[in-house]
Every structure is written in C-alpha cells, then in structure tokens.
Amino acid sequence: MDIKILATGSDGNCVWISNGAISILIDCGLPKTKVEKILLAADIDPTKIEAIFVTHEHQDHARGLPFADKYKIPVYASEGTLKELGRLETGKILKSFIILDAFSTSHLSIAPFPVHHDAMEPTGFVIRDQHEKVSVLMDTGKVDDAMLYAMSHSHQYVFECNHDEDMLVNGDYPDTTKARILSDIGHLSNQAAAAALAHLVQGRGERIYLTHMSSSNNMPALAQGAVKKALRQKGLQAGKHYHLEVF
C-alpha cells in the first residue's frame, strides 16, 4: 500500500493510504482549502477518495471535515468522536470493521482499536488488503498490550512520536500542560514510541513513519535516535531490516 503523510503535527494531520484501487484519508486536520491544496500538490484526486477515517475530534485531526462534505466523502469514526464532532447524523459509526470494495479482487478493510487520549472515544486504525497490513497510531498517552496485539505483524506503521521527555520537562510549557502531555491520556514520547516499535517490528523490511512531532519539545534526530536505539537492541538495523522516515 502507498502511504503519504500529507500533513502532521499540532497544526494538522492528514494521511493518505491507497492500494491502487481504493484510497482513503486518515484524519483531516487542516482547513478545507488547505486539504484541497495539499492533495493537488500530491497529485491526488479528491473525487477518488472513498472515505475519511477520523481518530478523534481534536481540531488538528478534524478541522477539515467540511472537505468531506464538499466532495460527499463518507466520514467514519467511533460513536464518541462523531458525537463530539456533531456528526452522529451524517457520519458513519465504526464499531468493528468495514470493507471498501473496488473489484472482487481488491478491497481494503479498516478496523479501529481504542487508544488512550483525552478525547471522547479516540481510536487508531488497522488497514488491510490481501497483501499488507498498515497500522496508524495518532495521539495516545500510552501503548497497551491490546494495542500492540491489534497492530502486530503490520508491514507499515504510522506512529505518533510527539516529544522528547527531557525537552518537555525542561521546556517552557506551563506545568499543567506538561502534566497533560506526559499523562497516560496525553501524547506519546519518543521513548514510549520506541519501546512499542521494538515490540512490533520484526525486521522484515517494515516501513515506519514517525509523525505528530512537537515543534517545541522534539527534534527529528532525537526521535529517530530513540527508535533506532531500541531496534538496535533487538539486532535490527535501519535500511537493512526496516525503513524509517521522520516527518
């Protein structure tokens, strides 16, 4: 499957995933016109997007949903997320999984899994076709065993890698904000993301996309370093056993 990280970070998140026959977006967190612009720049036709899946209601993930309305693209999310977005009537509640069919030989199945974040009913998503499994983990304060199980054996991982714990603790944020980010329903640190990826990645050429990086409390080199270190301890080398990209 092809993955394009169209936007990521606290200003807005939007990920395009396609198996050639079917294309979807995970989150739509930029203003509507900006979504159109980044799709155009990436050579993606908005009318070819089958569905948008929203991880949770925070603005950096859902601000651009009027884009879905304009192009009549169905919006899927948990019941709690749709409720918070005021879209219970128009959206589609995603409880277990759905299958998007293109031809009898080509489909995508998309399943949510619960995550830990200060939103109503936040989820990550597992996307499968007949060849591949992709896991998308956006905002979460921690990764538990059920989440690891849901994401296990993926070929590609889109993973939040929000902050370096030392940078956050020693940085300028107010103590209440620091506490929120560090809590179990906040955001994933480089260290926590690295530990989770060390459980998941087997060294079979998996692709890892590190996203949602804080501009104040992280640096790409730190995020990359933390993940590489954790995987090196499993005997895995970047470029040889897995591929790593930081956004």
Residues lying near Zn ion in the complex (CB under 5 A)? 58, 60, 139
* Residue 187 Cβ vs Zn ion, minimum distance, rounded to whole Å: 7
Q: Which of residues 62 and 75 has its CB atom nearest to Zn ion in the complex?
A: 62
Q: Which two tokens stand for residue 87?
A: 């879209």
**φ and ψ at residue 90, rounded to 5 degrees:** -95, -25
Core vs surface per residue 170-190: b (16+ CB within 10 A) or e: eeebeeeebeebeeebbbbbb
C-beta of 91 vs 122, nearer to Zn ion = 122
In terms of CB distance, is 19 or 55 closer to Zn ion? 55
Rg of the chain taking only CA atoms, in angstroms: 17
Beta strands in the chain (DSSP E): 2-7, 14-18, 23-26, 49-53, 75-77, 92-93, 98-103, 106-114, 123-128, 133-137, 156-160, 206-211, 242-246
Smallest distance, Zn ion to C-beta of residue 17, A:
18
Give the nearer residue to Zn ion in terms of CB position, either 22 or 143: 143
CA distance 46 to 19: 16
Strand partners, 137: 159
Question: Is the Cβ of residue 19 or residue 64 nearer to Zn ion in the bound state?
Answer: 64
**Min separation Cβ 48 and Zn ion, Å:** 26
Instruction: Tell me which residue of 210, 201, 211 sits closest to 237, measured CA to CA.
Output: 201
- Closest contact distance (angstroms) between CB of 59 and Zn ion is 9
Q: Least distance from C-beta 61 to Zn ion, angstroms? A: 6
Report which secondary-structure segment, H or E, holds 182.
Answer: helix 175-182
